[in-house]
Structure 1
Amino acid sequence: MAEAHTRIGTIEGFRAAYDAESAPVKIRGRSFNFFVPRTIERFINQEDVFQGFPLWAKVWEASLVLADHLASRDPVEGRRILEIGAGMGVVGIVAAAFGHQVTITEYNEDALNFARANVLLNREGMALKPAVLPLDWHSPQMEGSFEILAGSEVVYSQRDFEPLNRLFERYLVRGGEIILAEGIRGTTMEFLKKMSLTYKISAKRKVLRSVEKEIPLILASMKRA
């Protein structure tokens, strides 16, 4: 864990608090750089390594797929996007750079500090600066409603199914859309099947390819049936 969970307001303050390196990302011809932890040891809960593993401390392939999808959509005035489980803010920052009005949310305070620093790092040329706010799925205190809810790699455990469903019901406006990018695994398919009782779901299979491997993913759009 971080030694002091104070809100980071400057890049200099962030660099003083965290050992980070820069990861380049290119989306639709536009280049970004994101602070990522150089190592993750300080963020691991030593009392419960598996429960407390810092999943936020990586730029996931699903995040790149979701970022690319939002970048491909024309921004609409007054349309608000809520990114849940945002990690270091990659998706929301890319969406904001392409003109969308975005609120980036996370529960982990270290992740929020990385997201805030990444907003500062990529602010040049950003028409709308995204808000970065804490959000606990199990006890959401944030106010507001949104036309789009977006998340990448947020469906990992069955224990999150109901909190996510309640989050959707609380923050999605009538006629709104939920967009999820997830790895293809049992919990993903189980969650989408459960959500299909309430939402009309359209899903596409995406594959990210590199020299070493292929990573299959699902990009799903959910609207109330």
Structure 2
Amino acid sequence: MSEKDALKMDYLVKNIQFGERIFRLKKVKNLDALVDQISDELFAEDERLPYWAELWPSAIGLSRFLMRNPALIKNKRVLELGVGLGLTSLVIQSLEPQTLLLTDYETEALQVTAENFLLNGFERPEVQLLDWRNPQLNGLYDCIVASDVLYEERFFRPLILLFKNFLAGDGRVIIAEPNRAIARKFFKMLMDFGFFYDFTIIPVVQDGKTIQVHNYVIKRKK
């Protein structure tokens, strides 16, 4: 997106608490106003709606799961796919990974996430624009983390190929998603590619509704 076409956004800061830890999250004040700025041309390019600007229940569920399982992150080389507003990114950083690379398809998501790191007293993170269909990555990761990325079938195979190519041999993929029916196709395909998984359900209440966030820990079959 060119500077001329850059989205205009108003923000508010929300405190989000997990146990005794409080994270400050800068988020978009009016999501509908942001969506209204998306031109027909930009949407037609790749259906580029600003999904990143919403604080999804899966990001909250994944953050809680990681806070309860810090060994999955501590001293690990971590890659996050689709940072959104950066809530899970902040949680990962607080759990002391060896390295952390934050990626997203949208420049604005990376910018807001970097600002949220500074807002919480962390150093500016390493960020990279990334298209899962053509991932330009180097090296292997002990842990690949993502939330709410299983909403379109066209992304399933590229994601699994990314896991095969960039996950360390004994590494883990951690994915949170709200038990969408379409995601079942992904997990069947995942097993066909030589992975297995288990999951933990964490309920998240949003707008008076309880969403059962499934947190999957995925490994290669031995």
TM-score normalized with structure 1 length: 0.84
Match of 2:113 among 112, 115, 137: 115
Match of 2:23 among 26, 32, 36: 32
Look up the match of 1:141.
136
Q: Which moved more, 1:102-111 or 1:210-219?
A: 210-219
Letter in 2 for 1:110: E
Determine which of 38, 43, 59 is the counterpart of 1:45.
Answer: 38
1:29 deviates by 1.4
Structure 1 residue 160, shift from structure 2 partner: 0.3
Q: How does 1:5-84 map to 2 (within 5 A)?
A: 18-40=9-31, 41-42=33-34, 44-47=37-40, 48=43, 51-75=47-71, 78-84=75-81
1:18 deviates by 4.2
Return the TM-score normalized by structure 2: 0.85
Partner of 1:222: 218
Q: Percent identity?
A: 26
Distance in 2 separating the partners of 1:84 and 1:52: 16
Residue 2 to residue 218, structure 1, CA distance change in 2 (3 Å)? farther
Q: Cα distance, 1:28 vs. partner?
A: 2.5
C-alpha deviation, 1:146, in angstroms: 0.6
The aligned amino acid for 2:219 is K
Which structure 2 residue ranges, 5 or more long, are not aligned? none
Task: Give structure 1 stretches of 5+ with no counterpart.
Answer: 7-16
Alpha-carbon shift at residue 209 of structure 1 (Å) = 3.3
- Which of 159, 162, 170 in structure 1 is aligned with 2:165? 170
Distance in 2, matches of 1:4 and 1:33, equals 30
The one-letter amino acid of 1:217's match is V
Give the whole-Å Cα distance in 1 for the aligned partners of 2:22 and 2:201: 25
| Matched residue, 1:188 | 183
- Whole-Å separation in 2 of the counterparts to 1:139 and 1:38: 32
The amino acid of 1:83's aligned partner reads E
Counterpart amino acid of residue 194 in structure 1: M
Which amino acid counterpart does residue 178 of structure 1 have in structure 2? V
